[in-house]
Copies of this chain bind each other. A is one copy, B any other.
């Protein structure tokens, strides 16, 4: 029954790599759900410095908002399909479907926890710890979607990774080769990596 109500107000949208889905500061008229593909979220400073605040994969939500305008921009990383909900209509449904609101609160709490982990990473971890944390994050995201998590596919380019981790592309690259040299990961082309010593990697990521 609830799904019916939702289906009635959604539209399906396709985006090509690099296409802008929404822009920081724009009035928040839609919410989205990622069906397939991958998305990067980011904020910009006036001089062009960029901080990627997160990556989205199928099943993730996009557009939870506080002041009626988006807090970040979003672009497709790969060919991507999204479900789009008009925010006003969805909010109207919230009063009738309390389950839905509970789900949204759960999503928001989960994102908040992820944001706090990212704050810890950016504020206190070394470049090496950051990159390893990133690889493990990808691995967990892949495992949640059904893989073993041992081989991770890296959908984003080095500059997305760098802007996500608060580093430069050169530093990210150097850490990758360092991890390879030390036998901790194997690089399978530029877009995939195999995690060879998960336990050691988890220790590095957690700062031990």
Interface residues of chain A: helix, strand, loop or mixed (majority): helix
CB closest residue in chain B, given A122: B122
Q: What number of A residues sit within 8 Å (CB to CB) of B? A: 44
Count of identical protomers in the assembly: 2
A47 touches B112 (CB 8 A): no
B66 touches A109 (CB 8 A): yes
A108 within 8 Å of B (CB atoms): yes
Q: How far is the CB of A28 from chain B (nearest CB, A)?
A: 10
Report the stretch among A12-20, A93-101, A142-150, A181-189 that lies at the interface. Answer: A93-101
Would you mind naming 9 contact pairs between A and B with Cβ atoms under 8 Å apart? A45-B120, A51-B119, A53-B119, A64-B109, A71-B116, A101-B101, A104-B105, A112-B112, A119-B122
